[in-house]
Amino acid sequence: MMQRWKRKPAKFPLIALIFSVCIVISILYNERKIHTVYENKLQKTAEQVEEEVAVEDEVPVTQTDQESSNPPNISIHSNPKPVPADLDRFTTCTSIRNYSGERKTRKVIGLANPFAKIGGGSSSDSCDLFSGKWVFDNTSYPLYKESRCPYMSDQLACNRHGRSDLMYQNWRWQPHNCNLKRLNATEIWEKLRNKRLMFVGDSLNRGQWISMLCLLESVIPSDKRTITPQAPLTVFRAVVIEFHWAPLLVESNAGDPVNHKADNRIIRPDTILKHAAEWDKADILIFNTYLWWRQGPVKMLWSTEENGVCEELDGMGAMQLAMEAWAEWVATKVDPIMKRVFFVTMSPTHMWSREWEPGTEGNCYQQKTPITTEAYWGSGSDLPKMRMVDTILSRLGSKVSVLNITQLSDYRKDGHPSVFRKFWEAVSPEQLSNPPSYSDCIHWCLPGVPDVWNELLLQSL
């Protein structure tokens, strides 16, 4: 009776077995192939970012780790909603429409003279530290040697990269009716003891950060300073001086200090997000933002937008929204007794020599002396944006000190690297035959102009 249940197992046809094995092998092979292609793509992307970074965005690869952490998100909304996903360079808009104006900002009224009411920095009403002239001084300047600063960037080391005329290192800023206090690195180091000083912004602010390191390191023995190799952090025993990459201040798809190239610039104009979590840690903050707002229209993805629909606005309007978000953080989070906040005004460019020498068609290339015409303004100083920023900063009163470096820097057409720097992208033969075509008239050689910015900053401290 039991035997009728003992059926012989059916024979699996040989051809079916072979077919099944082939399918499994094919799946495994394709899966491995896809994984390999993805790995190669990531490797290629990293190499392209390292070698093809845009002129104003270059940054050492060792600075990625600070941005890879995920600090708590901070929203400026009084009734915060669920925090949206962070933007990155792969973020896209599902559709784009013009800015509706529904999320309106305060009305901005421009002043006749940008920063005329703020940014004094001097206890004397008769002394404006930001109004003056450049004086040649090859006795006191430069304040340090390019070759002796271990933190020098190849983007800013003009002498190392072939610039032989070194007069750009010997100009001293002389305010009208008063003098800048002579820099005493030892005194400054003591003043900063147990403090955390943080520069926040774009590559120009990074240049000022490097200048600060070069100014202070000369008085500190090498065994008393350390560098964190995987983050933009320098520690002088009890002093921390660091740089935080945030070129647009608000959350954006350019938030990574290395991998921030994108076809479209996208921001969240109403949120500070992870940036502010870093700012909270600092005792002294130095902010800047400017050039990234001059690259055409900006796409805005609001934190309350759930469908990926972006609004588009011109750079001026988008910058105003971002500045309002930043100003609200300062107004609500900064106690001026506990934290000092500085805002550095726009760093000008020198793209058109006809602006200071009519009839010429060059730029900063081969410029060897400053502009001597007092009150000179070039197109590299965007006066409408300056007035907008002035109005916003004026509302913050004593919570923000302004370093009004724009016009004093506008005189220094000679201070840029032009062709005397390391370029991450290969320079073509056509460009080599026409040096102005690839000259960097945005950044500044070191030692040079950013040292004066820091002299003004340190005098304020």
CA distances from 393 to 75, 353, 399, 406 (A): 20, 32, 9, 15
Tell me how long the chain is. 461
- Residue 290: name the closest of 351, 343, 331, 252 by CA: 343
Strand, coil or helix: 189 = helix
CA–CA dist 372, 257 (Å, integer): 37
- Residue 454: name the closest of 342, 351, 330, 317 by CA: 342
CA–CA dist 41, 43 (Å, integer): 5
- Alpha-carbon Rg of the chain, whole angstroms? 27
Based on the residue annotation, tell me whether 440 is a catalytic residue of this protein.
yes
Six-digit token pair at 73? Answer: 């998100």
Q: How many CB atoms lie within 10 A of CB 175?
A: 18
Spell out where 59-207 has E strands.
Answer: 95-98, 132-136, 171-175, 196-201
Q: Which of 202, 256, 414, 440 is the catalytic position?
A: 440
Q: Which of 75, 153, 203, 252 is the catalytic position?
A: 203
Based on the residue annotation, tell me whether 203 is a catalytic residue of this protein.
yes
List residues with catalytic annotation: 203, 440, 443
